[in-house]
Chain A
Amino acid sequence: MSGSRALAAVGTYLPPWGDGRGRTTGPDEDAVTLAVAAGRAALGEAGPQVRAVVFVTRELPLLVGGNAAALLAGIGLPDDVPVTEQVGGAPAVFDALVGAAPGTLVVAADAQAGAPAGAAAALVGDTGVPIELVDRVVRSLPVQSRVDGGPARDYADPRLQRERGLGPAVEALELSDKPVAVAGLVAKQAAALSAGHAPQLATLGASAALFALAGLEQVGTGGLVLAVEQASATAIRIGGVPAVRRDEPAVRAPQRTVDNPGPEIAISLAAYERAFDAKLRWEAGRCDACGTLAMPPRFRCLGCGSEAGWSPAPLPRTGAVYTGVTVHVPVPGLPTPYSLAIVELDGVDVRALVKVTGVPAGTTEIGDRGRLVLRRVAVRSGIPDYGYALFPDPRPADAGQREGAA
């Protein structure tokens, strides 16, 4: 674990829903969709070569077969990139970061109900801001626990946590100077441990470690960064302020929806498998004969009728609403109300039928513009069904609501 690494870029994502205390996931978000948004932010438009992905969260969807395929497809990485899925908190993210080879994308997501939600990703590169491990300590004091993704249990003894958990852990690290940022603690505790004005972080779990690195933008300098979780801690040193790209839409009050009980929504796994790449990678089929795009891809070309074949072609991720409706009637198995839109994608003759996300149902109108983002469209017979949704651009009237990482 010795030797230094360089941090090429950090990307962050926050769900639009929440209040002054933090963000919450929408009904169409989970750790995977959060991680995808953060991963895409970290990589930017350039899409540098990624040779490995490490995905750290305590809300890993326990899908037999893993979340790796959805993660790679959503981020837009090839299907031969190895993915490590790891259950862990903020220290585990730093452990992964300092142990990673150049070309590794470390993605961390927090999606626990009742805790601040968000995700962040960091790309380890050959160039960038140097990072190195200072020290770590791994101890046990499970004041918060969960079994098999069940409800969080809180031992509810903050003094015990402080005196026998956090305190001894930080002492054990024998830090030479005070950290410039601390991940895994509420703002007041973090400030008490830090030098100067530690950045206030959007989350408390795994992603907090990377939000701390992004927060160095506000600090204006590198230095010692500490990540703690219960009685464990990892400290790293970063040689400057990394490049940060944020996907942090303005916060708005969570939409009130009604969960409608009903039978499980059926899924055809054969249809799921056939659609997977186009659906999660946002790729049309381009006719090999005439170039006409079809979404979804199809055997016979919409334009020239060729059946000679098609090749995947990335679709634009922005567009305008051609028509849209809002469903108010209770739909078994889906939270209502929700809006649907047919979106004309920019610069191509392709329309997509998608759900609307990120704004209250019924607020999107014909002509509104937005971007297409990966969401968990439905859970069908227990299987997360990912696809794209329209996230409308803020209207001028919404601009006043904009605030930082709440």
Chain B
Amino acid sequence: MRRVAIAGAGMTPFAEHFGLGIKELVPMAVSEMAAHVDKGLDRADIEAAWFGELTTTDGFPSGILADTCGLLDIPVTRVENACATGNDAVRNATYAVGSGVVDVALVVGADKVRESSARGTFWEWAGLTRDMAWDYPLGLVAPANFALHVARYLHESPATREHLAMVAVKNHKHAVPNTKAQLRYEITLQQALDAPIVVAPFGLYDCTPQSDGAAALLLVAEDVVDRYTDRPVWVRGVGLGLDRVMHQHKKDMTTFPPTVKASRAAYSMAGLGPEDIDVAEVHDCFTGVELISYEDLGFVEKFEAYTLIENGTTAVGGSKPVNPSGGLKAKGHPPGATGVAQCVELFEQLRGQAANQVDGARNALAHNIGGPTAVSAVTVLSSEKG
């Protein structure tokens, strides 16, 4: 397979964009990406696009991308893989470029969550990931899906609600310098612990906000990368993993097997291991998910995740910073855009241009989990071609 590089990245701010529809957000992200390609981008160079969108507003996703971005003459494929959609769109485009069929590919991720009434959104989105007869009527709200795992995790591991709160405090702090982030303010440990309970053990600050937004990447083959930049970021590894869909069928709920499978595949393709990762964007839709993911991604031994948050290892300034962008927790989480935006952040980190820069970062990892906990996509990026 040919080597694949990211040559450009851009995104809209993540926010409740009541004033912007999907038809504005998508072209905004693509234009920002194009404007930031070091040596410029002629859109006519783009040969194919992959569009990650979990749900859809205002109609047919692939058509909306082609139409609103002026790309009517190339194939556009929509990717939907629950909350792993973004990194899976990256994976699909990587294969296309790596295979030699496409030299220049566009990857876009977007979602418009705040488009229906707050009351209506819940059941609409729940319908995407629940069994209609068995799970849907139970009121298994999104936080409950993950809380079922984290409740068991807290039961079996030494971690406590305080450790969940530490993740929230860290990621809020990380988001402050990030102009694209939705929640740019610091919180205290006590604020997090005292916040109203959403779904026990999660309080308000353990949860991602509802967000709208879009993000875009330009993926190019090694053969043509020089046309666009002298400082590419290499897509070294991609991986996708799945698990049983229903919680009832997951044997050990203190781990997310999809993450283990996806990261193993991505590490293996990259020829890198968890110890080589200098900075990571990890799917912290709920704080406890970040903790469990430290273990599933191989950053620490089973049930020792709490040590990394306690001793500052995963804060910027620590030895393995996680979510310097603020993560889903504070940057925001428009599901289809989330994974693509993680790669936007890591593109900037590996080029030394991030708002919350991790010094000397060379290898990076992006991670999504969703479905609600049945699919994971992992992307390993590097400033080195490998």
Report yes or no: B137 in contact with A323, Cβ–Cβ below 8 A: no
Q: Which residues of B contact A272 (CB under 8 A)?
A: 133
Neighbouring B residues of A279 by C-beta, 8 Å: 133-134
> Quick one: CB contact mask for B177-206 with A, threshold 8 Å, 1 for yes?
000000000000000000011111100000
B125 within 8 A of A: no
Pick the residue among A275, A322, A334 that contacts B139 (CB under 8 A): A334
Contact with A along B224-238 (1 / 0, CB 8 A): 000000000000000
Please name 17 further chain A to chain B contacts, defined as beta carbons within 8 Å, in addition to the given A271-B132, A323-B151, A323-B253, sorted by A numbering: A263-B123, A265-B123, A266-B123, A296-B134, A323-B152, A325-B151, A325-B199, A326-B200, A328-B197, A331-B139, A332-B119, A334-B139, A342-B253, A362-B200, A366-B151, A377-B138, A378-B139
The answer on a CB contact under 8 Å between B120 and A263 is yes
- Check if B137 sits within 8 Å of A377, measured CB to CB: yes
Within the complex, which residue of A268, A326, A328, A353 is in contact with B135, where a contact is CB–CB below 8 Å? A353
On chain B, the residues within 8 Å of A332 by CB distance are 119-120, 122-123
Task: Specify the chain A residue showing the minimal Cβ separation from B137.
Answer: A378
A353 touches B198 (CB 8 A): no
Tell me if A327 counts as interface (CB < 8 A to partner B).
Answer: yes
Chain A residues whose C-beta falls within 8 Å of the C-beta of B151 in the assembled complex = 323-325, 366
Q: Is the C-beta of B248 less than 8 angstroms from some C-beta in chain A?
A: yes
The answer on a CB contact under 8 Å between A353 and B123 is no
User: What are 27 sample pairs from A and B whose C-beta atoms fall under 8 A apart?
Assistant: A262-B123, A263-B120, A265-B136, A265-B137, A267-B132, A268-B133, A275-B133, A279-B133, A323-B155, A324-B148, A325-B144, A325-B151, A325-B199, A326-B200, A327-B139, A327-B141, A329-B198, A331-B141, A334-B139, A340-B140, A351-B248, A351-B249, A353-B134, A377-B137, A378-B138, A380-B137, A387-B137
Contact call B127/A322, Cβ cutoff below 8 A: no
Which residues on the A side are within 8 Å of B147 (C-beta)? Answer: 325
Q: Is the CB of A328 within 8 A of B134?
A: no
Task: Kindly provide the distance from the CB of A288 to the nearest chain B CB, expressed in whole angstroms.
Answer: 19
| Nearest Cβ on chain A to B201's Cβ, whole angstroms | 8
Q: Is the CB of A323 within 8 A of B248?
A: no
How many residues on the A side are at the interface (Cβ–Cβ under 8 A)? Answer: 43
A266 to B135 CA separation, bound complex (whole angstroms): 13
**Minimum C-beta distance from B317 to chain A (A):** 34
Answer whether residue B143 sits at the interface, using C-beta atoms and an 8 A cutoff: yes
CB of A271 within 8 A of CB of B138, answer: no
A333 interface residue per 8 A CB criterion: yes
A352: interface (CB < 8 Å): yes
Measured in the bound complex, the distance between the Cα atoms of B136 and A385 in whole Å is 11
List B residues at the A interface (Cβ < 8 Å): 119-120, 122-123, 127, 131-141, 143-144, 147-149, 151-152, 155, 196-201, 246-249, 253
User: Inside 8 A of A313's CB, which chain B residues have their CB?
Assistant: none
Report the minimum CB–CB distance from B130 to chain A (whole Å): 10
Contact B152 A295 (CB under 8 A): no
CB <8 Å contact, B119 and A326 = no
Select one of B122, B143, B197, B247 contacting A342, CB under 8 A.
B247
Tell yes or no: A191 within 8 A of B by CB: no
| Minimal Cβ-Cβ distance residue in A for B133 | A275
Measured in the bound complex, the distance between the Cα atoms of B141 and A263 in whole Å is 15
Which residue on B lies nearest to A295, using beta carbons? Answer: B248
Nearest residue in B to A296 (C-beta to C-beta)?
A: B134
Query: Which residues of the other chain, A, contact B201 by a CB distance below 8 angstroms?
Result: 325
* Distance, CA A261 to CA B118, complexed state (A): 11
Inter-chain contacts of A350 with B (CB < 8 A):
248
State A270–B253 Cα separation when bound (angstroms).
31
On whether the beta carbons of A366 and B119 are closer than 8 Å, the reply is no
Contacts of A295 in B (CB 8 A): 248
Is the C-beta of A302 less than 8 angstroms from some C-beta in chain B? yes
CB-defined contacts of B134 to chain A, threshold 8 Å: 275, 279, 296, 353, 387
Whose C-beta in chain B lies nearest to the C-beta of A386?
B137
Residues B148 and A325 in contact, CB atoms below 8 Å apart: yes
Residue with the greatest number of chain B CB neighbours at <10 A, chosen from A261, A275, A322: A322
Write out the residue numbers on chain A whose beta carbons fall within 8 Å of the beta carbon of B140.
340, 353
One digit per residue, 1 when the CB lies within 8 angstroms of any chain B CB and 0 when it does not, for chain A 250-288 equals 000000000001110111100110110001000000000
Give min CB distance, B209 to chain A, whole Å: 13
The A347-364 residues at the B interface (CB cut-off 8 A) are: 350-355, 362
How far is A333 from B131 in the complex, measured between Cα atoms in Å? 18
CB contacts (< 8 Å) of A378 on chain B: these are: 137-139
Q: Within the assembled complex, what's the spacing in Å between the Cα atoms of A29 and B144?
A: 23
Nearest CB of A to B149, in Å: 7
Do B135 and A327 touch across chains, with their CB atoms under 8 A apart? Answer: no
Measured CA separation A378–B140 after assembly (Å): 12
Task: Say yes or no: B139 contacts A338, CB within 8 Å.
Answer: yes
Contact residues in B for A351 (Cβ distance below 8 Å):
248-249
Contact check, A268 vs B253: say whether CB atoms are below 8 A apart: no
Q: Does B196 lie within 8 Å of A328, measured CB to CB?
A: yes
Distance (whole angstroms) from the CB of B202 to the closest CB of chain A: 8
**CB distance A342 to B248 under 8 Å?**
yes
4 A-B pairs with least C-beta separation: A275-B133, A323-B152, A378-B137, A325-B147
